[in-house]
Amino acid sequence: MTESPRTQPAQASPKAAARDATEARKTDPAETAEYISVDIYDQTYHLRGEDSEYIRRLADIVDAKMRAVASHGKTVDSLRVAVLAALNIADELVTLENRYDTLAGSSQESRASIRTRAHSLTGLLDSVLSEGRKIS
């Protein structure tokens, strides 16, 4: 038995390739992003994103955290202040994640408890109804 020659995929024309690239850019989130300038700890940063208000909010949080760290310490090194602020933000994140996990676990336990109780009540209701049929 002979093997048929392998077929090569058709090459796209240069116009088709350009059209595909243009379409990909239209759906690329980076193309819809806008530039925004924010000030963090007396430094201006030019950032790019889709939601400028959200970026401003994040920048405000970082700026406030850096200023809080700087006010409690004696360091004036902005890199050190940034690292300490990042550690504080990371601590807040982990604390909130742990809290969420605890609440999600409690929610799962509550659902399981409700499901067990519902099955128990269904069994009781079935037995009462079947006894009621025997009496009648």
Query: How many Cβ atoms sit within 10 Å of the Cβ of residue 40?
Result: 21
Banded model confidence at residue 61, pLDDT cuts 50, 70, 90: very high
For residue range 62-79, what is the model confidence (pLDDT) as tens digits?
A: 999 999 999 998 878 999
What does pTM read for this prediction? 0.57
Which is more confident, 19 or 106? 106
Domain spans in the chain, listed from the N-terminal domain onward: 28-135
Q: Under a CB-based contact definition with an 8 Å cutoff, are residues 47 and 56 in contact?
A: no
Q: What is the pLDDT of residue 127?
A: 84
